[in-house]
Amino acid sequence: MSGVHGSIERLEKSVASRIAAGEVIERPVSAAKELLENSLDAGATDIKVTLEQGGKALLTVEDNGDGIYYGELPLAVERYATSKIRTLDDLEYVSTLGYRGEALSSIASVSRFELRSRRRGEESGGVIRVEGGVVTSHSLVPAPQGTRVEIADLFYNLPARRKFLKGATAELKRIVQVVQDYALVCPRTRFRLSNDGKILLDLGDAQSTDEVLKSIWGEEHRSVRAALGDEEARIQLWWNNLLGSRRVNVTAFVNGRRVQDATIRSALNSTGASIYGEWIVMAAVPPEDVDVNIHPAKAEVRFRNSNRVFEMVRKCAEKALLDGGGFSEARVRGEEPAAPPPAPAAGPFENYVPAPERFKRHPEFFSSAPNEPARPAARECTLFPEAGLGPVRRYLGQAQGGYLVFDDPRGLILVDAHAAHERILYEEIESSYSGKRIDTQSLLSGQELPPAVAAGASLHREDLAGMGFTFRLPGDDGDGPGEALLLSVPVLRGLGRLSPMEMLRSAIRGIEEEDDPSKRDREVWWRWARTACRDAIKLGASVSLEEAMDLFDRLERCRSPYSCPHGRPTTIFLAGEKLKSWFER
């Protein structure tokens, strides 16, 4: 884990005083991030991370990088000793992930620490052990080329700090994420992660970030990629438009460094389009054009020309949004939208289609007052009831781009088939899932899980089992790693063509985003329902008489038939008496 200059030296006070120092190690993921960055700086092509209890009991990072000279091991655990910078000028041209010489010292001061390493070209290696910041041994030992750092009992000497750590699963999730992040930005490096003897991730060793994304997002992911650059800077980004998601997750890298950057996020928000989903943004700029020495945990940077970076990210994002259907091509070209046709002269047709705020209050539209609570699920309601008429409603056909038109004794009913079908699917999933025992269906053959999904399945196996998922994960059979397979899925009405992998991904996201166990199931089936909405009839699709009547009958049986899950109206009623008044009858 040594670096650019090849030997470790103490920084002069004038340089050390200019470093944005602070509390580096806050939890196991902080230590894992620092060690991964050291390994990458050392040119490692194979990095293995081993954990116990999510890193709380043990965290080991082993690499095949350049290694450290035996005589420099004591300097490696000394504060402000580094091989990556020497002078104040070097701080202006930092091209490595690490540079401050603080990480190993900070980790060794709050753990039982061991560092083994053999420098490339040397015949033997060395080991140094530190407890609570005190060196206990330093000796020559046989060692493979590279470096192995072992951190045991993190914060053992700071019980007040240790008690604020999350549970093992929560800490493990953070480390899984940081390993995935660096696998994306360093696709040619192999990253392996195991916890409590079980392999969770085996990523990288690939030709490109796109290949790694297939492992993380799956072969079926619908991401779009865009790139923009010149001789001075380059932006690459990927957008995975997660259907049904109302969250924006941005993973940003600047010169390979994982950061939280306001400039990049603001550029995405400035596109004027819906940016829900997952974004990966990689910016490459000359080292002298970015200041990395502004945050104690190296989590932020400052661009010397932030406006230029902002514009490049914005244009690149607009291209991705165009390719992914985010907005019209004219908007991306910077053209003004076409002017709408002139409105017709004022007259009775102004009120032909009532606005949502008005039809929701229409006494003939609702059989209950606006402020009454929702009807219970067991009670069936009837749209626009008329006692004693019997089944006299007639389907007339489709109009104005696909809306269904029904003739009813009390007037005309217009139905948005897509919105109506969304409501039907949503309530079918809810009724199948809510408060009931879930039936499962075994897959004909186990479906192989991508590494990232397998990690989530292992982390949340118990919760997922309660939802109807079963797996065979590496180590289950006691005969080696093996493949991670999905064996069965829940059987729920309304899911239509939603694939087993999509169901599982949605379930994992729901579990990870809802901390309250009492609300977790609802978060999961809500995601399933929103994702299943894409199977609804598309507005404008041809609908036969039988299909139209069946759709209306199923909508009538819904608990909340008047709007889709997104809040759009499913039906509009034009009272016959109002039609007569318009025609002065």
According to CATH, the topology of domain 9-206 is Heat Shock Protein 90 (3.30.565)
Q: What are phi and psi of 129, to 5 degrees?
A: -120, 140
pLDDT averaged over every residue in the chain: 78
| Of 65 and 288, the one with more pLDDT | 65
Most confident of the ranges 251-265, 421-435, 482-496, 557-571: 251-265
pLDDT score at 335: 43
Most confident of the ranges 78-82, 330-334, 496-500: 78-82
The pLDDT-based confidence of 240 (bands split at 50, 70, 90) is confident
pLDDT score at 529: 66
Residue in 232, 231, 237 with CA at minimum distance from that of residue 249: 237
Residue in 98, 348, 54 with CA at minimum distance from that of residue 194: 54
pLDDT score at 148: 96
pLDDT score at 356: 36
Q: Which of 204-208, 437-441, 461-465 has the lowest mean pLDDT?
A: 437-441
Query: Distance (Å, rounded) from C-alpha 37 to C-alpha 256?
Result: 10
Pairing assessment for the beta strands 146-152 and 112-118 based on DSSP bridges: antiparallel
The answer to whether 101 and 79 have CB atoms below 8 angstroms apart is yes
Residue in 462, 36, 41, 403 with CA at minimum distance from that of residue 255: 41
348-416+539-582 is classed in which CATH architecture?
2-Layer Sandwich (3.30)
pLDDT score at 505: 82
| Token code pair at residue 215 | 């492992």
Q: For residue range 147-176, what is the model confidence (pLDDT) as tens digits?
A: 999 999 999 888 888 888 888 888 998 999
Pairing assessment for the beta strands 403-408 and 411-415 based on DSSP bridges: antiparallel
Question: What is the H or E stretch that residue 470 is in?
Answer: strand 470-472
For the chain, helix (H) and strand (E) counts, in that order, are 19, 24
Q: Is the pLDDT of residue 251 over 70?
A: yes
Spatial neighbors of 199 by CB under 8 A, at least 6 apart, are 192, 193, 474, 475, 481
Q: Which of 19-23, 148-152, 459-463, 474-478 has the lowest mean pLDDT?
A: 19-23
429-535 domain in CATH 3.40.1440.60? no
Q: Which of 123-137, 224-238, 534-548 has the lowest mean pLDDT?
A: 534-548
Query: Distance (Å, rounded) from C-alpha 284 to C-alpha 233?
Result: 6
Residue in 383, 381, 382, 415 with CA at minimum distance from that of residue 396: 415
Q: Is 480 exposed, middle or buried (0-12, 13-18, 19+ CB in 10 A)?
A: exposed
Helix (H, G, I), strand (E, B) or coil at 441: strand
Helix (H, G, I), strand (E, B) or coil at 233: coil
HSE-CB of 95 using CA atoms within 13 angstroms: 10
Cα angle, residue 552 at apex, residues 549 and 558 outer, rounded to 5°: 145
Helix residue ranges, H only, 412-544: 417-433, 451-459, 461-466, 500-513, 517-532
The answer to whether 446 and 487 have CB atoms below 8 angstroms apart is yes
pLDDT score at 361: 31
pLDDT score at 355: 34
Q: Identify the DSSP state of 480.
A: S
Give the start-to-end residue ranges of the domains of the chain.
9-206, 222-332, 348-416+539-582, 429-535
Q: Is the pLDDT of residue 477 over 70?
A: no
The pLDDT-based confidence of 359 (bands split at 50, 70, 90) is very low
| Token code pair at residue 211 | 């290949």
- Residue with structure tokens 């991730």? 201
Q: What are phi and psi of 189, to 5 degrees?
A: -90, 140
Q: Which residues of 372-407 are buried (b: 16+ CB within 10 A; e: fewer)?
A: eeeeeeeeebebbeeeeeeeebebeebeeebbbbbe
Neighbours of 197 (CB within 10 A): 10
pLDDT score at 349: 29
Can you name the residues that pair with 137 across neighbouring β-strands? Answer: 129
Query: Distance (Å, rounded) from C-alpha 183 to C-alpha 362?
Result: 57
| Token code pair at residue 505 | 């991904």
| Token code pair at residue 46 | 């194979």
Q: Helix-strand-coil percent breakdown of the chain, rounded to 5?
A: 35, 25, 45
Spatial neighbors of 21 by CB under 8 A, at least 6 apart, are 100, 102, 296
Q: For residue range 69-101, what is the model confidence (pLDDT) as tens digits?
A: 998 898 888 876 776 655 555 566 676 786 666
> Quick one: average pLDDT of 430-451?
75
222-332 domain in CATH 3.30.1240.10? no
pLDDT score at 1: 44
The pLDDT-based confidence of 414 (bands split at 50, 70, 90) is very high
Q: Is the pLDDT of residue 217 over 60?
A: yes
Spatial neighbors of 61 by CB under 8 A, at least 6 apart, are 32, 35, 36, 39, 47, 48, 49, 148, 149
| Of 56 and 330, the one with more pLDDT | 56
Can you name the residues that pair with 117 across neighbouring β-strands? Answer: 126, 147
| Of 295 and 20, the one with more pLDDT | 295
